[in-house]
């Protein structure tokens, strides 16, 4: 089975721009979660999508949004980029949506904001 894939792997943007990151979960998995990893804040939960619905959202501003398609692929969008948005964005997929679900992570998208 193919693992979680994320595109692009690296991205460089400038302040004020917007960016869209993509995540394809493991086949058969319906839950996709997004995490932001920075040296200062560590790994922080952004949001989770299950069956095209956002189930939970972390403590991030409205500039961070996402969506999930009927094939479970998910996209994450960040508008009006700030320098502090530079981070590794990790996507995780899980078969179920519930706290016992094992989450399998993709390789991440490294976003640099200049």
Binding site for other proteins (CB under 8 A): 31, 33, 35, 42-43, 45, 48, 50, 55-56, 58, 88, 90, 92, 94, 97-108, 110
Q: Output 79 or 88, the one with its CB closest to other proteins.
A: 88
Least distance CB 97 / other proteins (angstroms):
5
Which is closer to other proteins, CB of 12 or CB of 15? Answer: 12
CB of 16 to other proteins, least distance (A): 26
Cα separation, 81 vs 51, in Å, equals 28
Q: How far is the CB of 26 from other proteins (least distance, A)?
A: 12
Helix (H, G, I), strand (E, B) or coil at 11: strand
Count of C-beta atoms within a 10 Å radius of residue 97:
17
In angstroms, how far is CA 24 from the centroid of its own chain? 10
Q: Which is nearer to other proteins, 14 or 56 (CB)?
A: 56
Nearer to other proteins, 2 or 102 (CB): 102
Which of 24, 72, 7, 75 lies closest to 47 in space, CA to CA? 75
Q: Cβ contacts of residue 40 below 8 Å, gap of 6+?
A: none
């Amino acid at each position: 089975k193919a693992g979680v894939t994320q595109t692009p792997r690296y991205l460089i943007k400038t302040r004020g721009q917007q960016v869209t990151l993509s995540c394809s979960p493991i086949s058969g998995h319906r839950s996709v979660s997004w995490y932001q990893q920075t040296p200062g804040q560590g790994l922080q939960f952004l949001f989770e999508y299950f069956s095209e619905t956002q189930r939970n959202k972390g403590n991030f501003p409205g500039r961070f949004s996402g969506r999930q398609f009927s094939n479970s692929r998910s996209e994450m969008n960040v508008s009006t980029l700030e320098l502090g948005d530079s981070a590794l964005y990790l996507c995780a997929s899980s078969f179920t949506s519930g706290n016992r679900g094992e989450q399998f992570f993709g390789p991440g998208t490294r976003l640099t904001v200049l």
